[in-house]
Amino acid sequence: MCPRNKKIESNEVEVREMELDDIPSVFSLGESLFTAEKWPTLYRTWDQYELVGFFESDGEFCFVAEFEDKIVGFILGTLIEKRRSAWIYGYVAWLGVSEKHKKMGIGSKLLKKLTEVFIENGARMMLVDTDPENENAIKFFKKNDFEHEVPHVYLSKNLSEHPKYIKKRKLNKKRRSLGKKRI
């Protein structure tokens, strides 16, 4: 086992294109990293459909990092082509490294591989976004030459206190209660 924060040799980590059999491990790793409590805006879109969608439509831009025969990181990307534009953008949609293997160069190795594949496919620029409070991610991307930080506003509204939501929740609870009594 590799001690946390110890730089591992690049030949100890294999970065390869994601395969169908990797999906459960990647999903599980993402579930452990993108929790509602820690990253509510990221959690809202991390689900099995998101992962399978990227794998199905952009599989050539989906990579995993293996260490000691276990998936310890992943990166999912896509190309964005705008109509009537000469620019092709590489977009880093998801990047995750297990908590136990962070600060070992795995994220950089994944990003390097995706960058190379984006260039091979004509991308002129790479884009990434993250939660503005995710200071570690922001530092990581800046360290890897991402610049021109552009803040954007993301708003949310909690509907659990809305009168219609409360009414529906009470109705559902009553239905469940009646269903149990009939059994």
Rounded distance, CA 4 to CA 1, Å? Answer: 9
pLDDT at 3: 47
Q: What are phi and psi of 88, to 5 degrees?
A: -120, 130
Domain tally for the chain? 1
- Asked whether residue 110 is domain-assigned, the answer is yes
Q: Which two tokens stand for residue 183?
A: 């059994």
Confirm whether 93 is domain-assigned. yes
pLDDT along the chain (183 residues), means of 10: 50 92 95 80 73 93 96 97 90 94 93 97 93 88 91 77 90 81 57
At a CB cut-off of 8 Å and minimum separation 6, what does 145 contact? none
pTM reported for the whole predicted model: 0.77
Q: Is residue 171 part of a domain?
A: no
Show the CA angle centred on residue 89, arms to residues 11 and 34, nearest 5°.
60
CATH of the domain at 29: 3.40.630.30
pLDDT attached to residue 5: 46
143 in a structural domain: yes
DSSP string over 93-146: EEEEE-GGGTTSSHHHHHHHHHHHHHHHTT-SEEEE---TT-HHHHHHHHHTT-
Full residue range of the structural domain in which residue 68 is found: 10-155
Residue 165 lies in a domain: no
Residues ≥6 apart with Cβ < 8 Å to 160: 166, 169
164 within a domain of the structure (yes/no) = no
- The pLDDT value recorded for residue 121 is 96
Query: Does residue 58 sit within a domain?
Result: yes
Q: Is the dihedral of CA 151, 142, 48, 133 positive or negative?
A: negative
User: Contact at 8 Å (CB) between 77 and 127?
Assistant: no
DSSP string, 84-105: T-S-EEEEEEEEEE-GGGTTSS
Residue 162: inside a domain, yes or no?
Answer: no
Question: What does the pLDDT read at residue 145?
Answer: 93
